[in-house]
Structure 1
């Protein structure tokens, strides 16, 4: 049972941290699109770097420890890696968190795609919310 618990924890942590990076990207895109008069625009957010350092690297490290300890069947580790790679893939991959953004951030009223508004890199399907209310509503949906 230790293996299953450790894999479940690693995958859930990957999902939580990736979602945090996604939300930071959307918040940054919103601030760029709706910047306050006289305020400098926020710096571009590197979502891919965030996902790599805060989500994927710790996930890979956790799987490496489990593999080194020999406490998990190899098939379980292969499956966990595949699921992890799917979660952090771009919006063209079904089941990725980027693909889910198309559903969560679906209001096209702003006319601005998330990835073109405030990210230093591509990724993050969906639209920048057009109002602060829509941003809060979308954030609740992604929690």
Structure 2
């Protein structure tokens, strides 16, 4: 799921999902399931263009869930959301592993990563500079800066 989900602004949540369901050839009953998972069952005929950013993100996630993925890749999922929207999306993302869905989250907001991730990979200059478990008490910002500085110095020496 990219930062701004590809939704049809002139269609309702259900209609957006129906379009995707037809393209994927999945069971139509899955639409109700994913609407419930992302808490968008009460949007009725409201057009997606009138949704808040958080609702649009959840609709994008619902579209991604239609095909029952084992892997969900989210790019900056909380970008632009208000604090309530961020917390709602955090809870949703945390629920995916319990459903057997692995989540890869890409974000520059390290505090958000620290709240959501149990493993991290840090890419700097196109190089995976660190990969490992994230333990309580770890300072992700310090880890990130050390990896970036190391790669920057290596590039300076070899450049």
TM-score (normalised: structure 1)? 0.25
Q: Which has the higher contact order (CA 8 A, sep 6+)?
A: 1
Normalized per residue, the structure richer in strand is: 2
